[in-house]
Chains A and B, each alone.
Chain A
């Protein structure tokens, strides 16, 4: 078959798309379970320092400097760079230690360096993580209720599975590639969830609309409606994701390190979100709906108006 997205049988592809999604989700979950996250200090407590250098500083010199200061600032992890370098201290540095670090760095390595320092205590870190998780949970419930009222519960359930799918893949990618998980990352996951919902609802809305005029007698009829709806909204799905990707990719390419990982999370999430709306959420709704007794198509028409 020649590849033409406007002729594809999206429902027929479900054995592949489910396979791909299940594999991705499984790898993600396993990665998170086995390797965990490379927590930034927002979630693990400690001190992170981001230094903007005014001139290149030799990596060895920085290491020597940090080794010398080990008695005062403790263990560290250094990520070197030409214009910026970032240092993570395991310890929570107090105000005096922060001052002494800044002063020592400026007198020893680069007088015009500029710093960003983050210090987070353990309980705050844990609390933020909990908050984020509760946020996703309650948001999902809220969305389910809304979509159940406006559409029907099957749409809501399928949309939430797609949403969790996207969130899990983004988290999995970060776990697998050891990218730092911090507060901006959580915000990125929230952004992805927002996008994923928006993207899915638009396709579902078209399915709902097409259902009103469709005479559905067989499962094939139902599949046709879903396929037609996906195809009709396909240009929109692609164009929207391209437009948002333009922003995310430029941020990734140009913005500072703290936003770079954030943009990366969004890029992964956007692609996953678009994919899942078409290949996961829509076939899932089809499966759920298929199980409904075929003699009650009137119900969908009623809720759709």
Chain B
């Protein structure tokens, strides 16, 4: 009786914990952009100037500055990671204004001052006098000129050099380019010695502010091209999630009923353990900050399949032992022991496959699949291998479940094998 009570208490306590924590976990679980809407872009980086190389430092620097840019647009938790030698992956979930964010993130924002000094007429402004790195970072400001038109002022790092350039170009244009696009080409009216340059030609304050913002966010040290892009509208993502959840809930209920009807007492224990399994796995994702994506859900389903399998293997084994004529108590003991090795071998073999996928599938969906699969196997060992081996003997020792019918075995089958 005491043991039965202990079992009931364990179940009640677990359900209480599950009931209390689940809403928070579900709220806090990070959903991938395929379930929530958002976009993912894989960029390939090339050096800005020909003959340059893409170093790891430059790549990291570019990724950092892209993250900064994304944050400036106000999106929640942009994920910017470098991959391999020349790739940057950007994931942003739940974006409202995708085009805007996308255009800001990937924009090189390379500011250049060019002149036609020594250029043939058809070449236009061919000589680059100043590069983006020659300007003081974060110093672009919107000011107003005499006619109260908005202008953007920027600071040059090396005042002497700017004085030399402007001195050389008096009466000639000094063109200002942003990403190879001509913004304005004012005529230099005199030697500038204070290192302040002015960009005119902005029609509205808004435009001037945008320009200053772009300059202040800094240029990307690398040229980026989009190699892969996935974008999911928020409604569509949510629809996928709802449909998947609905299918998942119905399937779970059916599987639990199936287990209980087929395996009776071990089935009830298995059903309880499966619920704990699902909850614990979700809790771990929540705590580890794992982002749940569709491939992850696939692995989750496989994980549940293996969890069910663990229970079925044990329950079948116990049935076998009972049919061989063993007492219920010793059948539970023997059955659990015999099935343990089987389950461990099956699990470890799958872990090996998952580990290989993890190593190979960097950044992509194959890796999310592998992560969830490995996690679910680990949790499974705890909740569907260890836990039933604790709970089932407890119930059996309570003395209330000694009939073979409690294990889904007919009396007539005992000794038949």
Contacts and interface: CB of A to CB of B under 8 A. Distances in A.
Interface string A163-186: 000000000000000000001101
Contact of A95 (B99, B259, B361): B99
Contacts of B246: 254
Interface string A76-120: 000000000000000000110011000000000000011111111
Contacts of A259: 240, 243-244, 294
Contacts of A253: 247
B346 interface: yes
Given A116-B232, A195-B302, A251 B103 contact: no
A250 B294 CA distance: 15
Contacts of B361: 131, 135
B3 interface: no
Contacts of A205: 341-342, 345-346
Contact of A114 (B236, B247, B302): B236
A235 interface: yes
B69 to A, nearest CB: 15
A191 B309 contact: no
Q: In the complex, which range does the number of interface residues on chain A fall in? A: 35 or more
A146 B313 contact: no
A250 B316 CA distance: 26
A30 interface: no
B231 A251 contact: no
A11 interface: no
A233 to B, nearest CB: 8
Interface string A34-55: 0000000000000000101000
Most A Cβ at <10 Å: residue of B42, B106, B227, B254: B227
Interface in B13-57: 34, 42
Contacts of B250: 250, 254
A246 B248 CA distance: 10
Contact of B350 (A114, A151, A197, A256): A197
Interface in A120-176: 120-121, 123-124, 128, 131-132, 134-135, 138-139, 142-143, 146-147, 150-151, 159
B243 A240 contact: no
Nearest to B365: A183
A187 B234 contact: no
B5 interface: no
B10 interface: no
Interface stretch (B116-124, B131-139, B144-152, B352-360): B352-360
B255 A247 contact: yes
A255 B243 contact: yes
Interface string B305-346: 110110011001001100000000000000000100110011
B8 interface: no
A133 B308 CA distance: 29
Contacts of B341: 205
A194 B354 contact: yes
A256 B345 contact: no
Interface in B188-234: 226-234
Interface string A227-271: 000001101100110111011101101111011001000100000
A132 B366 contact: yes
Interface string B102-143: 110010000000000000000000000000000000000000
B235 interface: yes
B346 A202 contact: yes
Contacts of B352: 139, 142-143, 146
B302 A194 contact: yes
Nearest to A206: B342
Interface in B229-276: 229-237, 239-240, 243-244, 246-248, 250-251, 254-255, 258-259, 262
Contacts of A190: 353, 357, 366, 369
A287 interface: no
Given A118-B230, A131-B361, A243 B349 contact: no
Nearest to A252: B247
Contacts of B232: 115-117
Contacts of B254: 246, 250
A9 interface: no
Contacts of A50: 236
A97 to B, nearest CB: 11
B-side interface mostly: helix
A98 B243 contact: no
A109 to B, nearest CB: 15
Contact of B239 (A52, A150, A201, A247): A52
B391 interface: no
Given A138-B356, A184-B295, A205-B345, A94 B369 contact: no
A188 interface: yes
B244 A251 contact: yes
A298 to B, nearest CB: 21
Contacts of A135: 356-357, 360-361, 366
B364 interface: yes
Contact of A240 (B226, B298, B305, B342): B305
B228 A120 contact: yes
Given A134-B360, A183-B365, A198-B306, A116 B226 contact: no
B386 interface: no
B76 interface: no
A193 interface: yes
B346 A121 contact: no
Nearest to A122: B227
A239 B251 contact: no
B301 A247 contact: yes
Given A247-B251, A253-B247, A255-B247, A119 B230 contact: yes
Nearest to A233: B316
A246 B357 CA distance: 26
B258 A114 contact: no
Nearest to A112: B235
Interface in B352-380: 352-357, 360-361, 364-366, 369, 373
A43 to B, nearest CB: 12
A162 to B, nearest CB: 12
Nearest to A247: B251
Given A116-B232, A247-B305, 8 more contacts: A52-B239, A116-B230, A118-B231, A146-B348, A191-B369, A197-B346, A244-B302, A255-B247
9 contacts: A52-B233, A114-B233, A115-B232, A118-B230, A124-B42, A135-B357, A138-B360, A139-B357, A202-B313
Which 6 interchain pairs have the tightest Cβ spacing? A114-B233, A114-B235, A244-B305, A254-B247, A139-B353, A247-B251
